[in-house]
Amino acid sequence: MVGEKLRVTVWNEYISEREDAKSKEVYPEGMHTVIASFLKEAGFDVKTATFDMPEHGLSEDVLNETDVLIWWGHRVHDKVSDEVVDRVYKRVMAGMGLIVLHSGHMSKIFRRLMGTGCRLKWREDGKKERLWVVAPWHPIAEGLGDYFEIEKTEMYGEPFDIPPPDELVFISWFKGGEVFRSGCCFYRGLGKIFYFRPGHETLPIYYDPNVQKVIINAVKWAAPVKRPMPVRGHFESLEKDI
Ligand code: ZN
């Protein structure tokens, strides 16, 4: 960490916003630019990286200088290089935080960290979602009421094929009747992972102040804990007289 500022890298595949007119209209400079801008305003040291950059913008150096990585992907999950996925995986195990957004549930990195298929139900109907805070004590829920709403969203429905989360922060209700585990925390190695559901590429969800608050809180929660690497393997007794 440089000074007190947490270093955040926002990764976005950045394809829909260039190829799809509707998405381009909502996010003319890409979702990563919008996310980076409210994170900068919140006081973080923020970089962005996209799929088309060499090594997808996630070189060894970039990852070594990242405290929390944010991941948005959808169309090219399978084209993300395995070498880069291995690199991200190792950094998470060593303590880097990872926030996986929306359709990132099918990314290679998320499926690898979960060890399950990570599929779900979906419907692009632009109807209302109500996110209930089910862990009011959790730092990711700081500053929120009992619930918040997103007027127009894409539905995601259970059963979501993930392992039971270590902590569940939000459950969504959808106008169509479905429910979904929308804010899930997982611990893997020394790393903290937060999956957050909102954020379809053709809807202005990353401009929503509650959604922004959750992502800011999640960056703080997922930040690495400063401590030496734990010692593992054969270990001599600390006491000499046993
Ligand atoms: Zn979507």
- Residue that the structure tokens 């303590």 belong to: 95
- Residue that the structure tokens 């900068």 belong to: 40
Total residues found in the chain within this entry:
242
What residue segments make up the domains of the chain, in order of their start?
A: 7-115+184-222
Locate all alpha helices (DSSP H) within the chain, ordered by sequence: 16-19, 21-26, 31-41, 60-64, 82-93, 108-114, 209-222
Chunked into runs of 10 residues, the chain (242 residues) has average pLDDT values of 82 98 98 98 98 98 98 98 98 98 98 98 97 98 98 98 98 97 98 98 98 98 93 93 75
Q: Please give the distance, rounded to the nearest whole angstrom, from the Cα atom of residue 49 to the centre of ligand 1.
A: 20
Phi/psi for 48 (5° steps) reads -120, 160
Q: Please give the distance, rounded to the nearest whole angstrom, from the Cα atom of residue 67 to the centre of ligand 1.
A: 26
Q: Please give the distance, rounded to the nearest whole angstrom, from the Cα atom of residue 237 to the centre of ligand 1.
A: 53
CATH fold for domain 7-115+184-222? Rossmann fold (3.40.50)
- Assign 171 to helix, strand or coil: strand
Q: Please give the distance, rounded to the nearest whole angstrom, from the Cα atom of residue 198 to the centre of ligand 1.
A: 8
Q: Please give the distance, rounded to the nearest whole angstrom, from the Cα atom of residue 52 to the centre of ligand 1.
A: 20
pLDDT attached to residue 1: 45
Q: How far apart are CA 173 and CA 175, in angstroms?
A: 7
pLDDT attached to residue 3: 61
Amino acid found at 198: P
Q: Please give the distance, rounded to the nearest whole angstrom, from the Cα atom of residue 113 to the centre of ligand 1.
A: 21
